[in-house]
Amino acid sequence: MLGPIAWRTPPISYGPWERVTSLLTEGLVRRGLDVTLFATGDSITGAELDAVAPHGYAEDPTMDGRVWEALHVAHALERAGEYDLVHNQLDWLPLAFTAQWRTPMVTTVHGFSGPAILPAYLASASAFVSISDADRSPSLEYLATIHHGIDPAELPYVAEPDDYLVSFGRIHPDKGTAAAIEIARRAGRRLVICGLVQDADYFHAEVEPHIDGEGVVFLGAVGAEERARVLGHAVALLHPIDFDEPFGLAVVESMMCGTPALAFRRGSMAAVIDEGVTGSTVASIDEAISALPAVVALNRRRVHDRAVARFGVERMVDQYLSVYETVLAR
């Protein structure tokens, strides 16, 4: 399992690629597979851990991420002959060196960033797994789409929420934090915002002026326990994204707690949210405000049950095992 090294695996707060890598790795270990996780040295796993980077480069400004990622990939490459299969979770760099791997490879494409990285994908002999049908590049062939799975035990069901809405994700125009503030304000609801500030200019201009600790509360990047508590006690998640989100982990995590999601109909949202069951997708702020009362009124137990059925980690592990078998049978 060739994981990313921007953050620890599992990440302490932000780090969606590392989170999914961790959930799958631990799931495979539970099934009895012999797995080595290539990740940061401070990662925590039931698999064998191998590392060259002591900790995540995103946590340490003295580390050049490109240099450490290359050393990390090169180190895994040295050991590749020991394995039946390599699962690449860190995008194009391992693909560029495909001829050197010789071991069969599966690559999870965690959000296809655009045509400029296609040459590495096309040069590669890896099998590709998309994380949603919406995120597929028309220029690539995929073996499967496998939605991320999450661990229900980490996101306990909350039957009786508080009264606030929640916005959860990187603070960046893509994630629509400012639109969430407008929806909450016009709907007369409190809003709790959680997320790593990725675009400081946007935060200072569009988000910070609205933070008052009452109507709009900002908690920053939160850890696993606080994430479960904040998502679980919201009446709904607002996700008015301004980009084609490839998956939307926060949406699924929210649903796992029983909290329905109200999202803009971009990227994978219509595939992830079951309309009228786990939430609703809309096209504008006005539509969001109209749809909100019905979303808040959804049956939280049904939201949770559907999330377990569709996005439980064991379903993800099953699907990846099936992909591994297909690749190894080739």
Residue 115 binding a second copy, by CB under 8 A: yes
Out of 46, 119, 209, 220, point to the residue binding a second copy (CB under 8 A): 119
- Closest to 302 (Cα-Cα) out of 321, 327, 277: 277
Beta-sheet pairing, 279-282 with 48-50: unpaired
Least Cβ distance, residue 106 to a second copy (angstroms): 19
Out of 41, 42, 98, 224, point to the residue binding a second copy (CB under 8 A): 98
Residue 93 binding a second copy, by CB under 8 A: yes
Least Cβ distance, residue 113 to a second copy (angstroms): 9
- Closest to 18 (Cα-Cα) out of 30, 29, 27, 5: 5
In the range 73-92, which residues lie near a second copy by CB under 8 A?
73-75, 77-78, 92
Out of 120, 211, 217, 291, point to the residue binding a second copy (CB under 8 A): 120
The owner of tokens 């592990």 is: 317
Q: Which is nearer to a second copy, 77 or 289 (CB)?
A: 77
Out of 100, 139, 299, 322, point to the residue binding a second copy (CB under 8 A): 100
Out of 71, 125, 200, 294, point to the residue binding a second copy (CB under 8 A): 71
**DSSP state, residue 134:** G
**DSSP state, residue 51:** -
Cβ neighbourhood burial of 141 (10 Å; 0-12, 13-18, 19+): exposed
18 with 2: CB under 8 angstroms? Answer: no
User: 197 forms bridges with which residues in the sheet?
Assistant: 171
Q: Which stretch binds a second copy (CB under 8 A): 56-64, 125-133, 216-224, 250-258?
A: 56-64
What CA–CA distance (Å, rounded) separates 236 from 183? 12
Q: Which stretch binds a second copy (CB under 8 A): 66-74, 150-158, 174-182, 208-216?
A: 66-74
Q: Which is nearer to a second copy, 46 or 115 (CB)?
A: 115
Out of 32, 81, 82, 116, point to the residue binding a second copy (CB under 8 A): 116
Residue 67 binding a second copy, by CB under 8 A: yes
Q: Which stretch binds a second copy (CB under 8 A): 95-103, 152-160, 277-285, 305-313?
A: 95-103
What CA–CA distance (Å, rounded) separates 180 from 176? 6
Give the number of residues in contact with a second copy, rule: CB under 8 A: 26
Cβ neighbourhood burial of 271 (10 Å; 0-12, 13-18, 19+): middle
Q: Which amino acid is at 21?
A: T
3-state secondary structure of 249: helix
Residue 96 binding a second copy, by CB under 8 A: yes
Least Cβ distance, residue 71 to a second copy (angstroms): 5
H or E stretch including 50? strand 48-50
CA distances from 114 to 135, 137, 175 (A): 10, 8, 18
Q: Which is nearer to a second copy, 63 or 211 (CB)?
A: 63
What CA–CA distance (Å, rounded) separates 191 from 19? 25
Please list the helix, strand and coil fractions of the chain in percent, rounded to the nearest 5, in that order.
45, 15, 40
Q: What angle do CA 130, 99, 50 make, to 5 degrees?
A: 70
Q: Which is nearer to a second copy, 111 or 161 (CB)?
A: 111
Q: Which is nearer to a second copy, 124 or 132 (CB)?
A: 124
> Distance between alpha carbon 27 and the CA centroid of its chain, in Å?
17
Q: Which stretch binds a second copy (CB under 8 A): 94-102, 103-111, 145-153, 188-196?
A: 94-102
Least Cβ distance, residue 27 to a second copy (angstroms): 30
Q: Which is nearer to a second copy, 107 or 167 (CB)?
A: 107
Q: Which parts of this chain interact with a second copy (CB under 8 A)?
A: 62-64, 66-68, 70-71, 73-75, 77-78, 92-93, 96-100, 115-117, 119-120, 123
